[in-house]
Amino acid sequence: MGLTVFAFLAPPVLLTLWIRARPRIRGTAWSRYFLIVAGFFSVFTVSMGIAYISAQPYAETQAVPLFLTRLAAAAAAAGYIALFRVCLTFPYDSKNAAADLLAVAATAAVFALNLGTELYVRHVERVNLDFIRHEGPLYGAVTVGAAGLGFLGAILLTFRSFSMRSRIYQQQSRILALGIVVSIVVGFLLAIRLPQVLRIGAFYLLSTLSPIILGVGYYFAVSISRIFAWKEVGRRVLSYLLLLTLTGIPVGWASAAILRAGLPASSAAGFVFLIFALGAYLASAFVNRFLDPIAGRRKYREALQDALARVDLSGGRDTVLRQVHSILSEPLEFRDLAILVADDEGALRPVFSTFGTERTLPGDSRALRELARTGVTVLLKTEVVANRAYAVFKKEFLEIFESYRAEALIAVREGRETLGILALGARSSGGDYTAYDYETLRSIYGKLFVVLYYVKNIARESILSTVDREIAYSSQVIESIQGNVDRIDHPKADAHFLARSTRKLGGDFIDFLRLSSDRYFFVAGDVSGKGLNASMSMIILKTMIRTFLKEEKDFTRIAERANAFIKDNLPRGTFFAGIFGYFDFAKDSLYFINCGIPVLFLYSPVFNTIIEIQGEGRVLGFVRDIRPYLKLRRVPLASDAVLLLSTDGILDSENLRGERYGKERLQRSFSNHRGKSARELAEGVVADLLAFTDDRLEDDITVFALKYDTQARSPT
């Protein structure tokens, strides 16, 4: 009796699948038919479950289970009629009033025949676990005819798929046909064949799982808009079947033999453990030696990520873009590539093209706005063709694909603004981009963002040709970036910061963002590296942190995402030592997460002393999961409290005798100047450092000072 639960499982599963598919097929015939099919088969399974439960043995009158059995058969037949109608025109959303009318008439006839006559079944009863049906003269015709109609529809759809020009439509059609056939076969085995062979009548109720298989097939058929790499999937399946044959079966046989040998339990367990350990070792060696090479192209994702991470951004725009084309085109097997970058007016202009296009894409394009609204970063042409969610903008998207000879678009955005687009051409093999290609393009998005940001904001044809020009331009960029902050302007706070770079190139930065009248977010620290690469990494990281701040409400998540961005997208080995924090002046509090900031001094008037409050912190960019190491701290800000923050450039500075400046000297300098304004305090600390080093700076330095008063200061 416990198996009756399967009869009531189909309706919620089918409804869930329809709800999940609906955003992609809203307003189409396939959405309506999906709901109709799900409804009919839900009636079938529920009716069968209740009929089985309510049926009694050897009772002459079985009105309720008899009616429900007839209703179940009629609903199942109606479901297959609806499926046959779908197979006539799927995947094209073409209207066919005649076919719809015939389907309605056939459905009405089936219900009338089943519910109004005894031609299907005359009587039902349940004896023990067996559900016995006394068949009418048309029992076989209804049962076989309904399933046969569904089977015929699947065959018809399969043959139609060979004449379809679009590979994604071919794939969708064959998935639906496969789902129909498998569901019919499973239903036959569980409802008829297995109960006959094994003599277990309860298997009959397991046949209610077949509509779920059908629903899954329908869902994938209407939802999938990316090509499967069928050959790769097939090779992988065959390779693991081989692995099962060579290692899994022998290990299982040997373990079973030991357990049957009558050995003491501890000895048997030990031998079985050794066999499993040996099997795991052999399987691992077999995978590394044979199966991974069988998978072939599936390994290109990691190689592609590594190659993009090693792009030398100091080589100039054209050189960098040629490198990107070379890196992408080999594993993805395409020739044509167009790279468009936004100009000052927001229009996207080609900066690189293998086929010489000069066509500009308007920044106010409806298609681009739709991508930005939905947050889509990678779009395949097959998705535009097959995903009904793009129906409204289908014409605009296809024009873009056609204009740039593209089969895949990568839209790189800074916040909601489109920074640029990479248009990848058709594959040399003639195949479409697969789901694996799609996931690969998404995985390298961050690295492509770095390249596009560099091209738009840093690289110019007249720049980077000489070291002097490189330094001069980078100095302008850094000064502009550092100056673009929301400086703290609040009656309770007197704040000031200084940032100095050696050779005017480096990775130190500090940023403030006003969240409300009483709350300011800030981040400060040092991106590892020297020269132009460190400067570019600093600029990009600062921009991304601002983007994360707009998207995240969880303060800790901003640091987490910054860590992931550094590890995945900036040059290998890059790390960030700094601090994330925000001031809440309404609560007289500082909240911060130390990510490797070396110095955060606080003068407390309560204790009349200077203390270090930064605690321990883990720099970002080394470990994948940084969350366990992130500790959010709160520091109350008392009246007349003074705060001083510094990166490691000050501590590590040395004088001509090789003596390190260190924390003690910095603390003394802080103590000597803390009675002055925040500007004078920051400038005094830097002046003391320069006096110690004889006006030499070997590393970038950043200093931030804040003097606090819980009583609002009078505006000056």
Q: What is the mean pLDDT of residues 531-537?
A: 68
What Cα–Cα distance (Å) separates residue 66 from each residue in 51, 53, 69?
7, 12, 5
Specify the pLDDT at position 461: 42
Residue 352 lies inside a defined structural domain of this protein: yes
DSSP-derived 3-state class of residue 348: strand
Residue 276 lies inside a defined structural domain of this protein: yes
What Cα–Cα distance (Å) separates residue 3 from each residue in 14, 68, 140, 202, 330?
19, 18, 25, 7, 54
pLDDT band for 409, please (50, 70, 90 cuts). Answer: very high
Rounded to 10 deg, the angle between the 139-161 and 63-89 helix axes is 20
- Among the three residues 406, 423, 457, which one is the final residue of a domain in this structure? 457
Specify the pLDDT at position 189: 79
Q: What is the CATH number of the domain that holds 34?
A: 1.20.1070.10
Specify the pLDDT at position 2: 43
What Cα–Cα distance (Å) separates residue 659 from each residue in 539, 571, 698?
32, 32, 13
Pinpoint the alpha helices (H) of 444-572. Answer: 445-457, 467-483, 531-551, 555-569
Alpha carbon distance 354, 371 (integer Å): 25
Please tell me whether residues 337 and 278 are part of one structural domain: no
Please tell me whether residues 514 and 451 are part of one structural domain: no
Residue 463 lies inside a defined structural domain of this protein: no
* Cβ-defined contacts of 556-563 (< 8 Å, 24+): 556/593, 556/627, 556/630, 556/632, 559/593, 559/595, 559/620, 559/626, 559/630, 560/626, 560/627, 560/630, 562/620, 563/620, 563/621, 563/623, 563/626
Residue 306 lies inside a defined structural domain of this protein: no
Q: What is the pLDDT of residues 314-348, one digit of tens each?
A: 667 788 888 889 888 888 888 889 999 888 778 88
Q: What is the CATH number of the domain that holds 689?
A: 3.60.40.10
Q: What is the pLDDT of residues 545-597, one digit of tens each?
A: 887 887 777 888 889 988 988 887 777 778 889 999 999 999 999 999 999 88
Please tell me whether residues 600 and 689 are part of one structural domain: yes
Dihedral of the alpha carbons of 458, 463, 465, 470, in degrees to the nearest 10: -70
The length of the chain in residues reads: 716
- Among the three residues 299, 328, 356, which one is the final residue of a domain in this structure? 299
Q: What is the pLDDT of residues 202-234, one digit of tens each?
A: 566 667 778 888 888 898 888 877 776 556 556
Please tell me whether residues 537 and 588 are part of one structural domain: yes
Is 569:447 a contact under the CB 8 Å cutoff?
Answer: yes
Q: Is the pLDDT assigned to residue 530 strictly greater than 60?
A: yes
Under DSSP, the state recorded for 433 is P
Please tell me whether residues 281 and 391 are part of one structural domain: no
Please tell me whether residues 582 and 433 are part of one structural domain: no
Specify the pLDDT at position 99: 85
Q: What is the mean pLDDT of residues 248-265?
A: 72
Q: What is the CATH number of the domain that holds 400?
A: 3.30.450.40
Count the domains in the chain.
4
Phi, psi of 635 (to 5 degrees): -125, 120
Residue 375 lies inside a defined structural domain of this protein: yes
Q: What is the pLDDT of residues 272-288, one digit of tens each?
A: 778 777 777 776 666 65
Is 505:474 a contact under the CB 8 Å cutoff?
Answer: yes
Q: Which residue has the higher pLDDT, 644 or 529?
A: 644
Please tell me whether residues 123 and 167 are part of one structural domain: yes
Q: Show the beta-strand stretches assigned E in 220-347.
A: 337-342
* Range of lowest pLDDT (275-289, 503-517, 648-662): 275-289
Q: What is the mean pLDDT of residues 463-476?
A: 42
Residue 466 lies inside a defined structural domain of this protein: no
**What proportion of the chain, given as a percentage, has pLDDT over 70?**
81
Count other Cβ atoms within 10 Å, centred on residue 594. Answer: 25
- Element at 131 (helix H, strand E): strand 130-135
Q: What is the mean pLDDT of residues 230-241?
A: 62
pLDDT band for 244, please (50, 70, 90 cuts). Answer: low
Q: What is the pLDDT of residues 125-181, one digit of tens each?
A: 766 666 666 777 877 787 788 888 889 999 999 999 898 878 788 888 988 999 999
Please tell me whether residues 238 and 219 are part of one structural domain: no
- Find where tokens 């490189």 sit: 470
As a whole number, the mean pLDDT across the chain is 80
Residue 304 lies inside a defined structural domain of this protein: no
Q: What is the pLDDT of residues 661-688, one digit of tens each?
A: 999 999 999 999 999 999 999 999 999 9
Domain extent, residue 103, equals 2-223
* Range of lowest pLDDT (537-546, 602-611, 671-680): 537-546
pLDDT band for 464, please (50, 70, 90 cuts). Answer: very low
Q: What is the mean pLDDT of residues 439-452?
A: 82
Please tell me whether residues 483 and 605 are part of one structural domain: yes
Please tell me whether residues 291 and 426 are part of one structural domain: no
Is 350:339 a contact under the CB 8 Å cutoff?
Answer: yes
Q: What is the mean pLDDT of residues 462-487?
A: 51
- Among the three residues 267, 299, 331, which one is the final residue of a domain in this structure? 299
Residue 462 lies inside a defined structural domain of this protein: no
Please tell me whether residues 216 and 235 are part of one structural domain: no
Is 538:482 a contact under the CB 8 Å cutoff?
Answer: no
Please tell me whether residues 293 and 268 are part of one structural domain: yes
